Amino acid sequence: MSNDPPDALRAVMLKLHEEVHRNNFARAIRQSPNPAKALADLKKLVWREFDRRKIIDLACQQWIDFGSWPIVEPKFDALLVWERIWGAYLFGAMLDFRGFRPSGKTEIEILRFLLIDSWELVGLHQFQARLIRLQKTEKDRRTLQ
């Protein structure tokens, strides 16, 4: 038996892992087999994100504080919540894999950092990277026709 302190980041990653798998429906909604539609949908989502950011921040904070998500409308807000979960999961997994351990931080503090505080810097870059990939895919598709 180890006397090591509990690993707060690992505990957070387990919570996010459960949320990712519980809400996999949102991932299916956001993915279109048609690259042009996927690109258009992602552009709409990116534009809508800025206007809805505070609402999504509050939804994430509610989940952090109480373990439940508020009902969000319209569908775009649910997708934006999903983007937060997925983005936090990816960023947290990268930190965990690289051995980063935020000493002295609680699970709540780490969840807030991953879901809210780092979103503008990290999450939006994930959006941008996906947008660039989809634009390139669509451009390549048109070139081949």
Q: pLDDT digits over 86-142, tens only?
A: 899 999 999 999 999 898 999 999 999 999 999 988 887 887 888 888 888 777 777
What would the two tokens of residue 21 be? 């798998």
- 2 within some domain: no
- 66 within some domain: yes
1 pLDDT band (50/70/90 cuts)? very low
- 3 within some domain: no
- For residue 4, the SS3 value is coil
- 23 within some domain: yes
- 52 within some domain: yes
**Cβ within 8 Å of residue 50, ≥6 positions away:** none
Sign of dihedral through CA atoms 62, 11, 96, 7? positive
Give the structural domain span for 95. 8-144
State if pTM tops 0.85: no
Query: How many separate domains does the chain show?
Result: 1
Neighbours of 144 (CB within 10 A): 6
Report pLDDT digits (tens) over 7-45. 999 999 999 999 988 876 566 555 666 777 777 888 888
- Calpha distance 79→45 (Å, rounded): 8
Q: Which of 58, 51, 59, 61 is nearest to 26 (CA)?
A: 59
- 1 within some domain: no
